[in-house]
């Protein structure tokens, strides 16, 4: 019997695909049998780093293998996100996804080295985190009314720090400027940690940031919180109003942090990591730790998290178009 060339090519492609998949399937069945690496696409000291390390510490006990955190900062998270996307899809390199890496950056950056949807498999959303605008104590503004009066009286005199161009702090700052019709000069850093260092030192007056990384400085009076982006006032900062309370609802969104894996990572691995992570997020000490940071554990399914990522990307594409924000990569 003769086999047509088309059928032959189809069979050949199937054989090749099976040959590629077989080692991954075999590896997944004994997963994990060696240390796991989690790439955090921002420097130490920021919220992404804090959240990732809290979960990684307990995840290593749950999986019975070391879980090593590796910080890859720069490019508003794009350098680390690219490293995650290009890693071997065997479950031994995972990564942190954020609103910056999977929402803002792809919405505003041209020629990004990765696709936030095609190049990753969502595992689970770890936590929902409030945001904050805070000022150095030398700034003569104790509340939003005084802050806005100062900005309007001296446009451009104050500067705000963020975790980087196209990061969530940058976009939050731009939303704040658009909503309040004020102007503050943006100073981008390579992560929230370096940005906070300069604001605490008084070299920059204002920061738009996530609560976990800024909270210790606020509680020690080295920063003054003006408003938080959260559904309601935070237990850890009960005297600080939400943006919604202040009539600035567009700025009142929280952000999320989650785990993703490179595309083509076996389903068995994704299921294993998801189950272990969701269990970790329900542990009383982990819940309490995040509560102390103003964060709320989530722990949803890969499908649910994928929908959240897609919604976030769509949202920031609209904002980027409305504000005319485009960055060269």
Residue pLDDT, tens place only, 27-67? 556 899 999 999 999 999 889 999 999 999 999 999 999 99
Instruction: State whether 247 and 286 are in the same domain.
Output: no
Query: Does 276 lie in the same domain as 212?
Result: no
Q: If pLDDT is split at 50, 70 and 90, which confidence band does 22 have?
A: very low
Q: What Rg, from alpha-carbon coordinates, does the chain have?
A: 22
Are residues 222 and 152 both part of a single domain?
Answer: yes
Work out how many domains the chain is built from and give that number: 2
Q: Do the Cβ atoms of 93 and 87 come closer than 8 Å?
A: yes
- Scanning the chain, the segments in alpha helix (DSSP H) are 5-29, 47-63, 78-86, 99, 105-108, 144-153, 168-180, 192-200, 211-219, 267-282, 284-292, 302-323
- Is 189 part of a structural domain of the chain? yes
Query: Is residue 209 in a domain?
Result: yes
pLDDT at 17 > cutoff 70 = no
Q: Is residue 220 in a domain?
A: yes
Does 315 share its domain with 220?
A: no
Closest C-alpha among 169, 181, 105 to residue 132? 169
Return the bridge partners of 236, or none: none
> Residue 239 sits in a domain of what CATH number?
3.40.190.10
The answer, yes or no, to whether residue 24 has pLDDT greater than 70, is no
Using DSSP bridges, classify how beta strands 159-162 and 185-188 pair: parallel, antiparallel or unpaired. parallel
Residues 113 and 182 in one domain: no
Q: What is the DSSP letter of 43?
A: -
* Residue 3 belongs to a domain: no
Tokens encoding 114: 């990765």
Between these two residues, 233 and 75, which has the higher pLDDT value? Answer: 233
- The answer to whether residue 271 scores a pLDDT higher than 60 is yes
Is the predicted pLDDT of residue 135 greater than 80, yes or no?
yes
Q: How confident is the model at residue 26 (pLDDT cuts 50, 70, 90)?
A: very low
Domain that includes residue 90, residue range: 31-128+255-328
Q: 300 and 317 in one domain?
A: yes
Nearest to 86 by CA among 146, 148, 39: 39
Confirm whether 290 is domain-assigned. Answer: yes
Of 10-19, 39-48, 85-94, highest mean pLDDT: 85-94
Distance CA 130, CA 196 (A): 17
Q: State whether residue 3 is helix, strand or coil.
A: coil
In a domain, 12, yes or no: no
Question: Each residue of 152-194: pLDDT tens digit?
Answer: 999 999 999 998 887 889 889 988 999 999 999 999 998 889 9
Does residue 171 share a domain with residue 79?
no
Place of tokens 């990004």: 112
125 neighbors 102 (Cβ within 8 angstroms): no
- 78 shares a domain with 123: yes
Q: Please name which of 294, 309, 297 lies closest in space to residue 132, comparing C-alpha atoms.
A: 294
pLDDT, average across residues 107-130: 95
| Residue 11 predicted with pLDDT over 60 | no
* 135 and 247 co-located in one domain: yes
């Amino acid at each position: 019997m003769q086999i047509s060339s088309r059928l032959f090519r189809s069979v050949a492609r199937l054989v090749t695909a099976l040959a590629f998949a077989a080692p991954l399937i075999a590896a997944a069945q004994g997963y994990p049998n060696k240390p796991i690496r989690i790439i955090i696409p921002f420097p130490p000291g920021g919220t992404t780093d804090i959240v990732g390390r809290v979960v990684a510490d307990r995840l290593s006990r749950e999986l019975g293998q070391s879980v090593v955190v590796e910080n890859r900062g720069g490019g508003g998270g794009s350098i680390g996100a690219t490293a995650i996307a290009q890693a071997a899809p065997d479950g031994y390199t995972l990564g942190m996804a954020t609103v910056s890496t999977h929402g803002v950056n792809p919405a505003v950056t041209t020629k990004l080295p990765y696709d936030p949807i095609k190049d990753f498999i969502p595992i689970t959303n770890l936590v929902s985190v409030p945001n904050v605008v805070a000022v150095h104590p030398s700034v003569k503004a104790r509340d939003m009314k005084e802050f806005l009066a100062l900005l309007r009286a001296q446009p451009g005199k104050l500067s705000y720090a963020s975790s980087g161009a196209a990061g969530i702090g940058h976009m939050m700052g731009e939303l704040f400027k658009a909503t309040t019709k004020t102007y503050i000069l943006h100073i981008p850093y390579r992560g929230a940690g370096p940005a906070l260092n300069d604001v605490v030192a008084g070299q920059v007056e204002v920061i738009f940031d996530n609560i976990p990384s800024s909270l210790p400085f606020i509680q020690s009076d080295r920063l003054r919180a003006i408003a938080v982006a959260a559904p309601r006032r935070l237990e850890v900062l009960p005297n600080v109003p939400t943006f919604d309370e202040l009539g600035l609802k567009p700025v009142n969104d929280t952000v999320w942090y989650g785990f993703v894996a490179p595309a083509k990572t076996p389903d068995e691995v994704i299921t294993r990591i998801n189950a272990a992570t969701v269990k970790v997020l329900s542990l009383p000490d982990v819940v309490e730790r995040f509560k102390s940071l103003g964060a709320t554990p989530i722990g949803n399914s890969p499908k649910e998290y994928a929908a959240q990522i897609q919604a976030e990307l769509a949202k920031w594409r609209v904002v980027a178009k409305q504000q005319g924000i485009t960055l060269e990569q």
